[in-house]
Amino acid sequence: MEVQTSRRSVVWDVLREVLAARAEQAGRDRLDVIDAGGGTGGFAVPLAALGHSVTVVDPNADSLAAARRRAAEMDVRLTVVQGEAAGLDSVVGEQAADLIICHSVLEYVDSPADALAAIARVLRPGGTVSVLAAGVVAAVLHRALTGRFDEARALLERDRQGMPGSGPRWFTLPGLTALIEGAGLTPGAAHGAEIFGGLVPSGLVDAEPGAAESLRALEAAAATYPALRDVAAKLHVLGQR
């Protein structure tokens, strides 16, 4: 659990900064947040607990039911709507959000470009989308480090040739930036998340007093360091309308 907290902390730190800046810009503390593909509410419920108006949009009814239960357990108000990211504007309306969460979604949608185009239409002027997606470099490295050399080479070749393949997608930072620009949004800060977390055995973190906090500090320091950021398991990029 401590390792997972360290992995997510970089993204949460960025989101807190985005929310604070938007609240000051908009002149209101309660912001409208939409979590596109938010599943069971892992990000949405804590954001709602901060006092924001949060809507989760997800195609899976079971995931939405789990999000409702999680919100009830924390005694926060959460709106859930069944729908696809690519049809987000038709579900919640245009210019409806100050912040849109798009985490671990582009890997699975039929068209990442269509999903981001719909997200752009839902953002208000000055609003921000938080995009988090799996990094291809980390996927190749992790397979090689576990002895799956053929899988690592196949994934690398697939990415080089731009082949869609089967199963989830992986991204590079330039690729994500291009998608954000293609949706008519302005790319913002880029961070690497889970740079070391996937490589460090959880037993090592649990066994050493203070190791979890040290890992968190290391992840935060490396998050914007280009050579390390680009090999993160998760790439985090902001886009602004």
Asked if residue 68 belongs to a domain, the reply is: yes
Look at 80-84, 166-170, 222-226 and tell me which has the smallest mean pLDDT. Answer: 166-170
Asked if residue 154 belongs to a domain, the reply is: no
Rounded mean pLDDT of 44-50? Answer: 96
The whole-number pLDDT of residue 43 equals 94
Asked if residue 151 belongs to a domain, the reply is: no
d(CA 63, CA 58): 8
* CATH number assigned to the domain comprising residue 187: 3.40.50.150
Look at 4-8, 205-209, 220-224 and tell me which has the smallest mean pLDDT. Answer: 4-8
Asked if residue 142 belongs to a domain, the reply is: no
Residues 84/47, Cβ–Cβ less than 8 Å? no
Asked if residue 153 belongs to a domain, the reply is: no
Alpha-carbon distances, residue 193 vs 105, 132, 217 (angstroms): 16, 9, 12
Beta bridge partners of 35: 56, 101
> Could you read off the pLDDT of 54-75 as tens digits, one per residue?
999 999 999 999 999 999 999 9
Asked if residue 19 belongs to a domain, the reply is: yes
The whole-number pLDDT of residue 7 equals 38
User: Is residue 168's pLDDT more than 90?
Assistant: no
> Could you read off the pLDDT of 16-35 as tens digits, one per residue?
999 999 999 999 999 999 99
Domain interval for residue 6: 2-135+171-240
> Could you read off the pLDDT of 112-127 as tens digits, one per residue?
999 999 999 999 999 9
pTM (whole model) above 0.95: no
- Residue 85 φ/ψ, nearest 5 degrees: -60, -40
User: Is residue 214's pLDDT more than 70?
Assistant: yes
**Domains in the chain: how many in total?**
1
The whole-number pLDDT of residue 189 equals 93
